[in-house]
């Protein structure tokens, strides 16, 4: 039954893209990338109880690593993309070493501070990053250049990454991570080295955020310093909140909702988009603290118990 | 300074800890032999919980020594002490509330067997049977699939006991295991802990406010008063101790039989 449901989902994803108008193929690709970024972020927030306000740092490190290697060092695109998560994980290891020493607000603020440092370095180091002008013409090779080909490519990469993240959440590592979220003190007394475990989660989250960044670099064809800016850091937070941080697929649902709303509302009334987004976040936080997925689960539970 | 005595599971020598101007633990000596069921009693503020926190590595102390199975454990963090065989529970129930009862114990077992860094194996199936055995021992088999946070208080205390037992400890420290329980339940859980201790040949040190419970199960009792040991001995000796009667038992004649 569960396998059948998965096969249907995969079949739909495979059949759908050629049937969509080309601009929706582009939207779908972006949804997949945002979903990966938000799911990686939610490994920390939903499962580890650590709220980062600076995850754009790892997205940007991945995007810039891929772009710089392809543009400045003439690496092939696939190698550049493969390097992206490792560059981001290295950054996450270094920054995370300091960040996981703190908790709650201080954790959030220090993660934000490090992201601002990444932003400043990217902005100022013109020779390597192009500064404010960014790096342009970061395109994939000819066989991936069409939106449809890149959409399929992204779906496969994101699908595999989501599978890995799902396995991590359900693994012994994930159980211990949830135990830390619930009760760090008790976790210490059952033998978990809490700081070390949190740092490992931080690095894993950075790794997959960097992969999302790398995918986005070739999707966008260029990279800019805003990839490391505050707005980008809040994107996975908003997406995860919309979809629900308590469930693994919440951020995925949030990404679908967020991007579809953005596509239709931001294009129609660009100046009202932030107002609308703000109102949507307030509504979700107040009325649906478990997000959309939480709402669905609650309804499913009700129908099951009603029977 | 005394040499560590290898036959003792726990030996505390001249332990001191102050918070600001308050000397919470003021030169405590304690020696607990293998297989003992030791109660530590004393009025509120006597330093029982602080002593527990110092021994279990939760707090750093000012001076003194702690030996666990003959080895000095100064400054070792809780995860390391847990690996060496020291487990504890807390006065305020400390469990993983949004995990199921079964997942709580599974997580403790995974950690004890040092499997908690594994990233790709589904944890659901690991140590399931072992976890059910532990839950059976504390009487929670029926509650296994429920989120532990919704269990009745007494069951949560039992779960915490199972979490502590999952690490197969040699020394189990229970900080007021019956806090907040109904009188009948109190005797049940202490009898349960005592039974497990005998079966697994582990040593238990516990604090307790209910004198009925203390005198029913403890074989030796240490009385703390103002951060220092006031008396120590068998329940009979402690009950007959004039100082103890004056500072402690005398005030609670109602609960002391």
* Cα torsion angle, A55, A57, A60, A65, sign: negative
Residue B250 has a pLDDT of: 58
- What CATH code would you report for B37-57+77-252? 3.40.50.300
Does a structural domain hold residue A19?
no
Contact A172 B77 (CB under 8 A): no
Average pLDDT over residues A89-118: 97
pLDDT, tens digit, 9 for 90 and up, residues A70-100: 999 999 999 999 999 999 999 999 999 999 9
What is the predicted ipTM? 0.91
More confident residue, A306 or B210: B210
Instruction: Determine the Cα–Cα distance for residues B237 and A67; give it in Å rounded to an integer.
Output: 79
Asked if residue A192 has pLDDT above 90, the reply is yes
Asked if residue A306 has pLDDT above 90, the reply is no
For chain A, how many structural domains are there in total? 1
pLDDT, tens digit, 9 for 90 and up, residues B44-87: 889 999 999 999 999 999 999 999 999 999 889 999 999 999 99
A299 pLDDT tier (thresholds 50, 70, 90): low
The CA–CA distances, whole Å, from A199 to A38, A106, A177 equal 18, 16, 11
Minimal-distance CA residue of chain A relative to B148: A182
Residue A167 has a pLDDT of: 96
Residue A100 has a pLDDT of: 97
Suggest the residue from B58, B77, B79, B126 to mutate for an interface test with chain A (most A CBs closer than 10 A).
B79
Does a structural domain hold residue A57?
yes
Residue B6 has a pLDDT of: 64
B113-143 exposure pattern, b = at least 16 Cβ within 10 A, e = fewer: bebbebeeeebeebbeeebbebbebbebeeb
Residues 165-204 of A with CB under 8 A from B: 167-168, 170-176, 178-179, 181-183, 185-194, 197, 200, 204
Range of the domain at A127: 24-234
Does a structural domain hold residue A267?
no
Does a structural domain hold residue A262?
no
B251 pLDDT tier (thresholds 50, 70, 90): low
Does a structural domain hold residue A96?
yes
Asked if residue A213 has pLDDT above 70, the reply is yes
Q: Any chain B CB within 8 A of the CB of A298?
A: no
Reading the block at residue B49, the tokens are 């919980």
Which residues of chain B are within 8 Å of residue A175 when distances are taken between CB atoms? 99, 103, 106-107, 110, 116, 123
A206 pLDDT tier (thresholds 50, 70, 90): very high
Contact B120 A188 (CB under 8 A): no
Q: For residue A71, give the nearest of A149, A164, A161, A138 by alpha carbon.
A: A138
Instruction: Determine the Cα–Cα distance for residues A284 and B194; give it in Å rounded to an integer.
Output: 50
Give the angle A176-A209-A233 at the CA atoms, nearest 5°: 105
Q: For residue A52, give the nearest of A147, A140, A118 by alpha carbon.
A: A118
| Torsions phi, psi for B222 (to 5 deg) | -110, 130
Contact A191 B82 (CB under 8 A): yes
Does a structural domain hold residue A3?
no
pLDDT, tens digit, 9 for 90 and up, residues B122-152: 999 999 999 999 999 999 999 999 999 999 9
Contact B120 A190 (CB under 8 A): no
User: In Å, how far is B13's CA from the nearest CA of chain A?
Assistant: 23
Instruction: Determine the Cα–Cα distance for residues B68 and B5; give it in Å rounded to an integer.
Output: 10
Between A and B, how many CB-CB pairs are < 8 A? 103
Q: Where are the domains of chain B?
A: 37-57+77-252
| Global pTM value | 0.93
What is the overall mean pLDDT for chain A?
A: 93
A100-125 exposure pattern, b = at least 16 Cβ within 10 A, e = fewer: beeeeeebbebbbebbbebbeebbee
Q: Any chain B CB within 8 A of the CB of A270?
A: no
B90: Cβ–Cβ under 8 A, 6 or more apart, which residues?
A185, A186, B160, B175
Instruction: Determine the Cα–Cα distance for residues B104 and B107; give it in Å rounded to an integer.
Output: 5
Does a structural domain hold residue A303?
no
Query: Chain B residues within 8 A (CB-CB) of chain A?
Result: 56, 58, 77-79, 82-83, 87-88, 90, 94-99, 103-104, 106-108, 110-112, 115-124, 126, 163-164, 166-167
Contact B103 A175 (CB under 8 A): yes
* Cβ count near A9 (within 10 Å): 11
First to last CA, chain A: 20
Average pLDDT over residues A165-190: 97
């Amino acid at each position: 039954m569960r396998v059948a449901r998965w096969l249907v989902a995969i079949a739909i994803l495979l059949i759908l893209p050629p049937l969509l108008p080309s601009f929706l193929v582009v939207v779908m690709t972006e949804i997949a990338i945002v979903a990966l970024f938000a799911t990686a972020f939610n490994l920390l927030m939903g499962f580890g109880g650590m709220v980062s306000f600076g995850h754009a740092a790892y997205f940007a490190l991945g995007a810039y690593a891929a772009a710089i290697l392809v543009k400045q060092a003439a690496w092939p695109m696939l190698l550049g993309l493969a390097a992206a998560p490792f560059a981001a994980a290295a950054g996450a290891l270094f920054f995370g070493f300091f960040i996981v020493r703190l908790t709650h607000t201080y954790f959030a603020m220090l993660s934000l501070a490090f992201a601002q440092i990444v932003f400043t370095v990217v902005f100022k180091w013109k020779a390597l990053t192009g500064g404010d002008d960014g790096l342009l013409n970061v395109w994939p090779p000819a066989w991936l250049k069409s939106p449809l080909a890149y959409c399929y490519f992204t779906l496969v990469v994101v699908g595999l990454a989501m599978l890995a993240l799902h396995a991590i959440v359900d693994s012994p590592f994930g159980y211990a991570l949830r135990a830390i979220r619930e009760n760090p003190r008790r976790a210490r007394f059952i033998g978990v080295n809490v700081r070390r475990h949190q740092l490992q989660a931080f690095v894993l989250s950075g790794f997959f955020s960097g992969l999302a960044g790398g995918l986005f670099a070739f999707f966008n064809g260029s990279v800019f310093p805003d990839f490391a800016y505050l707005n980008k850091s809040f994107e996975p937070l908003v997406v995860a909140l919309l979809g629900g941080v308590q469930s693994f697929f919440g951020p995925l649902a949030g990404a679908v909702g967020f991007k579809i709303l953005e596509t239709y509302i931001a294009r129609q009334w660009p100046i009202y988009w932030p107002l609308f987004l703000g109102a949507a976040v307030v509504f979700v936080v107040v009325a649906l603290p478990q997000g959309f997925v939480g709402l669905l689960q609650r309804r499913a539970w009700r129908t099951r118990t009603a029977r | 300074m005394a040499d560590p005595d290898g036959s003792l599971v726990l030996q505390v020598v001249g332990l001191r800890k102050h918070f600001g101007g308050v000397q919470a633990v003021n030169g405590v000596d304690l020696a607990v032999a293998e297989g003992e069921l030791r109660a530590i009693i004393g009025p509120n503020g006597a330093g029982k919980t602080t002593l527990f926190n110092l021994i279990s590595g939760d707090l750093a102390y000012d001076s003194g020594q702690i030996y666990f199975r003959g080895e000095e454990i100064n400054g070792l963090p809780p995860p390391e002490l847990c690996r060496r065989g020291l487990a504890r529970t807390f006065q305020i129930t400390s469990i993983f509330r949004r995990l199921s009862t079964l997942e709580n114990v599974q997580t403790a077992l995974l950690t004890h067997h040092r499997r908690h860094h594994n990233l790709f194996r589904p944890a659901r199936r690991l140590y399931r049977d072992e976890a059910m055995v532990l839950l059976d021992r504390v009487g929670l088999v029926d509650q296994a699939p429920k989120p532990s946070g919704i269990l009745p208080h007494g069951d949560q205390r039992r779960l915490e006991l199972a979490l502590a037992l999952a690490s197969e400890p040699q020394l189990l420290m229970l900080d007021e295991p019956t806090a907040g329980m109904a009188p009948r339940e109190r005797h049940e859980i202490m009898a349960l802990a005592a039974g497990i201790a005998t079966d697994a040949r582990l040593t238990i040190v516990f604090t307790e406010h209910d004198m009925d419970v203390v005198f029913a199960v403890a074989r030796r009792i240490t009385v703390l008063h103002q951060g220092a040991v006031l008396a120590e001995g068998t329940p009979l000796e402690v009950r007959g101790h004039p100082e103890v009667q004056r500072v402690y038992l005398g005030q609670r004649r109602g609960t002391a039989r």
